[in-house]
Amino acid sequence: MNCQAGALFYRFFLLPCCVKAVKISLKLAGPSCNICSRPQPVNEVCEDCKRWESDPDWQGILDHNRSLYRYNDIMQEIIAQWKYRGDAVLALIFRENIRKFYLHHYTDYIPVPIPLSSKRLQERGFNQSELLADFTNEPLAFYEKWQLFTRKSSHVPAVSPILERTIHEEKQSKKSRRERLSSKENPFQLSSDLELSVNSKNIILLDDIYTTGTTLRKASKLLKEHGAKSVCAITLARG
């Protein structure tokens, strides 16, 4: 099979099959934590989030995270293929659900991707969180415009690259839970030319995996210190 034929097979046969498999087998459903989306027997705040909320430094910092998929072996392999082996087209598997979820719940929130360090971006060639955020800003179909009209919304806020990562850290996937939670330094800063755009705004962070919530809370803390009204998150999977 030549390269062109392989690309066509991938895009028009393999990718649609992956999309269908994800929709059927991986979508997160059932009771979960009201804050972080961890699956559990009842809809209430989980023990991890209770610990976060009991700490005065972190209480109320992240309003909530909504994860769309289960982080099982299939999802782990898809994300690894996408992030670490450079197969950025796999992001299209998640396009429809990310877009629908954002348009249904967060059209008055500014989409903000979690940034990579410049070194990590150079290594990877793309930022997976930016790919997810960009799905929220694609041209609206007629029925999507109608949905916004019925909710008295006139437009979707543009993606804002307001966060910058100033510290290059070891990959989160290589860190233990204890190491993630013990890191005190905030690796983020606000882009100086966009700093004023945070005040009194609703922000929706986009990232691939929620594991301990440390990354999202550090980003949220910075945004709220600069006047953000509300900071929530959409993540692909709840690890």
| pLDDT the model gives residue 7 | 44
Amino acid at residue number 181: L
For the entire predicted model, the pTM comes to: 0.85
Q: What pLDDT, in 10s, does the model give residues 72-108? A: 888 888 888 888 887 777 888 888 889 989 988 998 9
- Specify the 3-state DSSP secondary structure of 3: helix
pLDDT band at 3 (very low <50, low <70, confident <90, very high): very low
Provide mean pLDDT across the span 48-54: 97
- Alpha-carbon span 229 to 125, nearest angstrom: 33
- Alpha-carbon span 199 to 157, nearest angstrom: 15
Q: Are 70 and 39 in contact (CB under 8 A)?
A: yes
> Which domains are present in the chain?
34-238 (3.40.50)
